[in-house]
């Protein structure tokens, strides 16, 4: 038994840990990817993200990037003769892992050129109207996940956005990734029948 344990450590793996040092991974519930740099133990690894920061991550939150799929796609593209169009793939519903997160930044400087002459209530209503438009766009396009960047401030915009979302039974929300957005964003999940 000791020999088996030593073998796993030597290979950079633990039992119940599907990753090894050097594996490229993507995040299941967040955007981005990284490289496994250290096996912490069963179920835990350290991942270096694009910014050079190393983060401890649960293996349940990671998906291994299969290099062979990338190579196969590159080879298929290279084998199509120049000028020949391949048949378009039939439309399909994306899997959970393929779904994209769409973002909207509701900071006033992102919405208007100048706030001169606008009262605080008018500014808030402008932000809420832009949020409602974005939410309608998300539902029209059947987006499953959106991130609303509302900032921290006094929390008035955030509480108004949450009040709108509370009225929608097919929507759930929570604070967005602190690493990516700080404390000023809400992630919204939309379910469709």
Q: How far apart are CA 44 and CA 19, in angstroms?
A: 9
Query: pLDDT tens digits, the chain, 193 residues: what are they?
Result: 444 444 444 444 444 567 888 888 887 777 778 888 888 887 888 888 876 788 888 888 888 876 554 444 445 545 445 444 445 555 555 555 445 779 999 999 888 888 898 898 999 999 999 999 999 999 999 899 999 999 988 889 999 999 999 999 899 999 998 888 888 999 999 998 8
**Tokens 């030597």 map to which residue?**
10
Neighbours of 78 (CB within 10 A): 7
User: Is the distance from CB of 21 to CB of 12 less than 8 angstroms?
Assistant: yes
Residue 170 near residue 191 (C-beta atoms within 8 A): yes
Residues whose CB is less than 8 angstroms from the CB of residue 187 and which lie 6 or more positions away in sequence, other chains included: 101, 145, 146, 147, 173, 174, 175, 176, 177
Task: Please list the residues that pair with 187 across neighbouring strands.
Answer: 147, 174
């Amino acid at each position: 038994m000791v020999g088996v344990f030593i073998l796993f450590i030597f290979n950079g793996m633990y039992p119940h840990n599907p990753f090894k040092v050097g594996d490229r991974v993507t995040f299941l519930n967040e955007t981005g990817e990284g490289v496994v740099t250290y096996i912490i133990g069963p179920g835990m690894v350290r991942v270096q993200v694009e910014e050079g920061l190393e983060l401890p991550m649960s293996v349940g939150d990671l998906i291994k990037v299969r290099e062979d799929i990338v190579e196969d796609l590159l080879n298929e593209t290279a084998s199509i003769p120049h000028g020949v169009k391949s048949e378009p793939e039939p439309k399909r519903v994306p899997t959970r892992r393929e779904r994209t997160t769409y973002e909207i930044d509701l900071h006033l400087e992102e919405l208007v050129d100048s706030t001169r002459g606008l009262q605080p209530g008018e500014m808030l209503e402008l932000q809420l109207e832009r949020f409602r438009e974005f939410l309608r766009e998300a539902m029209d396009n059947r987006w499953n996940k959106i991130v609303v960047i509302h900032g921290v401030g006094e929390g008035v915009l955030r509480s108004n956005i949450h009040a709108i979302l509370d009225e929608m039974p097919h929507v759930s929300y929570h604070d967005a990734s602190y690493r990516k957005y700080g404390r000023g964003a809400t992630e919204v999940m939309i379910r469709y029948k």
